[in-house]
Amino acid sequence: MEILEVTENKEQYLEILLLSGEMESVVQAYLSKGILFTLLEDFDLKTAAVIAKEDNDTYEIMNVAAMYQDKGYESAMIEHIIRYCKDKCKKIIVNTGDNENLLIFYEKLGFIYSHAVQEKIYFKLDF
């Protein structure tokens, strides 16, 4: 398994990022400004994620999308993002819908509930 930061031609990963269910215009907006990571196994793309710097203290996970569910790829990607951000900020935030499986997923990775706005649940991980 290999995780790479992609700095050029990010648009080629749009298809996998759209698996998260977001509108294409939204994904394109944060993709152009964010940091894109891809997870490959045997040269095959398994997962992509985008993070964005919110301020000097905070990074936000904008998108994590996997070609295959329940294979550990998403967890590996989040763990990579945590390591990447640890010396660069004080916290990571992520917002998600109220899907119980997603809530459990982020809690298992050390995130704690922060707050809710409409139907979005916000989690944070403080360093």
Q: What is the pLDDT of residues 13-35, one digit of tens each?
A: 999 999 988 889 999 999 999 99
Beta strands in 12-126 (DSSP E): 35-41, 44-55, 58-66, 91-96, 112-117, 120-126
pTM: 0.90
Rounded to whole angstroms, the Cα distance separating 108 from 88 reads: 22
Pick the CATH number of 2-89 from 3.40.630.30, 3.40.640.10, 1.10.3720.10, 3.30.590.10: 3.40.630.30
Number of helices followed by number of strands (H, E) in the chain = 4, 7
Q: List, for residues 51-105, the tens digit of each pLDDT value.
A: 999 999 999 999 999 988 878 999 999 999 999 999 999 999 998 877 788 889 9
* Structural tokens at position 24: 């294409």
- Tallying the residues shown for the chain, one arrives at 127
